[in-house]
């Protein structure tokens, strides 16, 4: 285990409307507002997303099981945002998605489209020397402290 401490910076309250691309828009906001690190919660709906439902087996690097969500889902989730080695925002988001009483927990990766409304509460983390560079042994961008 490793850890660092930081301080709370700005707090963003964000609304995404029906059809908005959630992940791309959140990355664009991070660029515009120069957010280097943050923690966020989401609540609302997604109509589409490409997600990972877990690894096929417990191996390193993992072989992810991909699924496409292509019907309206209620969503609640939590995520983090850190920059990679090229200073590009990298989002890590886990959510519970539900539709007609069926629920699944996923890692949301790409292709997101908002259904009706999605509210996001983003807390900027200042004074922390952390990033999310590519981790070849794991096959993913891993939170790393300097």
User: What is the per-residue pLDDT for 21?
Assistant: 98
CATH number of 10-129: 3.30.1330.80
User: What is the per-residue pLDDT for 111?
Assistant: 97
Q: Domain residues of the chain, as ranges?
A: 10-129
Distance CA 121, CA 40 (A): 5
Distance CA 79, CA 38 (A): 9
Distance CA 4, CA 133 (A): 17
| Range 88-113 burial, b when 16+ CB lie within 10 A, else e | ebbbbbebebeeeeeeeebbbbebbb
From first to last of its 146 residues, the chain has per-residue pLDDT tens of 999 999 999 999 999 999 999 999 999 999 999 999 999 999 999 999 999 999 999 999 999 999 999 999 999 999 999 999 999 999 999 999 999 999 999 999 999 999 999 999 999 999 999 999 999 999 999 999 98
Model-level pTM?
0.94
């Amino acid at each position: 285990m490793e850890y660092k401490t930081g301080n709370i910076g700005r707090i963003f309250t964000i609304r995404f409307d029906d059809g908005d691309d959630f992940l791309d828009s959140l990355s664009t906001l991070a660029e515009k507002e120069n957010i280097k690190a943050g923690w966020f919660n989401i609540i609302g709906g997604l109509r589409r997303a490409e997600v990972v439902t877990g690894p096929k087996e417990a191996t390193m690097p993992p072989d992810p099981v991909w699924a496409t969500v292509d019907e309206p889902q209620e969503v609640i989730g939590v995520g983090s945002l850190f920059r990679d080695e090229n200073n590009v925002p990298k989002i890590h988001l886990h959510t519970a998605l539900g539709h007609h009483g069926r629920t699944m927990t996923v890692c949301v990766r790409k292709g997101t489209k908002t259904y009706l409304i999605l509210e996001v509460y983003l807390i900027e983390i200042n004074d922390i020397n952390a990033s999310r560079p590519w981790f070849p042994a794991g096959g993913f961008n891993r939170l790393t402290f300097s």
